[in-house]
C-alpha cells in the first residue's frame, strides 16, 4: 500500500534515519535481475546450466505477501545462492545504498549476517570488508556529486540458528571491524528457532570486549519468540540498546521496557502487516506503533526491514503513520528526530543529524 504525500510534507524529501534494514532483503528485484543476467551469461559461456529462475519470475513485481513461512526460505534457497560472488555483493550493496539515499535517508545502519562465499574464495571477514569497501565507494560517489551525504554504518547479525562458535566468530568480526564501519551486533533469524540461551555469553561479553559496540535484538517478532522467559533473558543481554519489532509481548515486559527509559524501538509497519505478524493478522490501524508512540520513555524509529521483499521505502512508512495514526507535520518531524538519540554512530554523527533533520 502506497500513500500519496500529504500537502503539508514531502515524505521523500524529509531527512530520515533508517536503523532496521537487512542488506539482502533490501535489494530491489531489478538489481537481483541484473545479477541473475550476469550469472546466466557466465554460466552459459562455461557450458553450465542456470538452475535459478529470473528474480522477476521468482519474485514478481507486486508480490509482497510473504509470511514467516515463505520469507526465510526466499533467502536460503534463492537470494543467497544468487548473490555469491564479490562482484554480486558489491553491485547489490551499491544498489541498496543508492536506493536509500534517493529516498531521503541521511543516516543508515545496514545489517547483515556474515557469510563465507567459498565459490568466490571469500571468508566471512572478506564478506564484511567487501561491504565496507562498497560503502566507502558510495560515499566517494556522493562527494563527487556534491550531494547531501548519507552516512552508512554496518551491524553484524548473529542468527538464532547459529552455534556458540559461529556466534563467537561474528563477535570477533565485530571487534576486528569496529571503528572501521561496524557499529553494532544484532540477533536475527527465524523466530521459530526457540532455543537461543546458548548465545547469551556472546551478547553478555560484547560490550566488555568491544567498548562502544551497540546491541540490537529482534524481539517478540512472533508468538513463538514472545514468551516472558525468552524476553526477560534477552533484556539481560548486554543489556540491549534497541529492540526490533516488539510485537508479541506481555504487559509485564512492556512495563519493563518503558521503565528502562531511552530504549530504541525499531518498528516496521509494512513488514509486520504484509507478513501477517500483527496479532490476529491486523491492519495498519492495528499496528502497535500507535501504542509505543505514546510511551514517553521510548525512542520509536521507523524501519523498512526488507524493502526489496515488502516494497515499502522509508518515505512510505512515514506516510503510513501520518495517514493511519493522524500525525501532523510537526509530529512527523519529531518522530524522525527520535532516532538521533539511539543511533550507534557516535556523538559527532548525532550532532550532524541534529543540524540536518527538520525540526518542523
Q: Catalytic residue positions?
A: 221
- Cα–Cα distance, 239 to 218 (Å, whole number): 13
- Cα–Cα distance, 61 to 306 (Å, whole number): 15
Contacts 24+ apart (CB under 8 A), 281-287: 284/1, 284/320, 284/324, 285/324, 285/325, 287/324
What are the percentages of helix, strand and coil residues in the chain, rounded to 5?
A: 50, 15, 35
Q: What are phi and psi of 112, to 5 degrees?
A: -155, 150
Question: Can you give the length of the chain in residues?
Answer: 360
Which H helix or E strand runs over 298? Answer: strand 298-302
CA 215 and chain centroid, separation: 13
CA 279 and chain centroid, separation: 22
Q: How far, CA to CA in Å, does 255 sit from each of 103, 137, 218, 233, 251? A: 35, 44, 18, 15, 6
Amino acid at each position: 500500500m502506497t500513500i500519496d504525500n500529504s500537502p503539508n510534507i514531502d515524505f521523500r524529501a524529509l531527512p530520515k534515519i533508517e536503523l532496521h534494514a537487512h542488506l539482502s532483503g533490501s535489494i530491489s528485484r531489478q538489481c537481483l535481475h541484473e545479477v541473475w543476467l550476469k550469472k546466466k551469461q557466465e554460466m552459459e559461456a562455461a557450458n553450465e546450466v542456470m538452475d535459478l529462475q529470473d528474480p522477476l519470475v521468482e519474485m514478481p513485481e507486486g508480490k509482497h505477501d510473504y509470511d514467516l513461512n515463505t520469507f526465510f526460505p526466499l533467502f536460503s534457497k534463492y537470494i543467497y545462492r544468487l548473490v555469491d560472488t564479490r562482484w554480486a555483493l558489491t553491485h547489490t550493496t551499491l544498489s541498496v545504498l543508492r536506493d536509500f539515499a534517493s529516498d531521503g535517508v541521511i543516516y543508515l545502519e545496514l545489517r547483515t549476517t556474515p557469510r563465507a562465499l567459498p565459490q568466490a574464495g571469500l571468508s566471512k571477514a572478506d564478506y564484511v570488508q567487501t561491504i565496507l569497501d562498497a560503502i566507502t565507494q558510495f560515499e566517494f560517489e556522493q562527494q563527487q556529486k556534491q550531494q547531501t551525504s548519507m552516512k552508512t554504518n554496518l551491524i553484524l547479525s548473529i542468527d538464532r540458528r547459529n552455534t556458540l562458535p559461529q556466534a563467537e566468530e561474528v563477535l570477533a568480526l565485530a571487534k576486528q571491524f569496529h571503528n572501521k564501519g561496524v557499529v553494532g551486533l544484532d540477533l536475527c533469524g527465524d523466530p521459530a528457532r526457540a532455543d537461543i540461551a546458548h548465545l547469551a555469553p556472546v551478547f553478555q561479553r560484547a560490550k566488555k570486549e568491544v567498548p562502544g559496540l551497540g546491541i540490537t535484538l529482534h524481539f517478540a517478532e512472533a508468538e513463538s519468540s514472545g514468551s516472558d522467559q525468552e524476553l526477560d533473558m534477552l533484556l539481560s543481554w548486554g543489556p540491549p540498546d534497541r529492540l526490533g519489532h516488539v510485537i508479541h509481548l506481555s504487559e509485564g515486559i512492556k512495563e519493563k521496557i518503558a521503565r528502562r527509559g531511552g530504549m530504541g524501538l525499531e518498528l516496521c509497519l509494512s513488514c509486520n502487516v504484509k507478513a501477517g505478524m500483527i496479532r490476529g493478522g491486523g491492519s495498519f490501524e492495528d499496528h502497535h506503533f500507535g501504542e509505543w508512540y505514546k510511551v514517553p520513555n521510548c525512542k520509536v524509529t521507523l524501519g523498512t526491514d526488507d524493502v526489496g521483499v515488502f516494497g515499502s521505502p522509508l518515505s512510505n512508512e512515514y506516510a503510513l503513520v501520518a495517514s493511519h495514526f493522524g500525525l501532523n507535520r510537526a509530529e512527523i518531524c519529531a518522530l524522525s528526530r527520535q532516532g538521533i538519540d539511539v543511533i550507534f554512530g557516535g556523538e559527532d554523527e548525532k550532532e550532524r543529524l541534529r543540524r540536518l533533520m527538520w525540526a518542523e
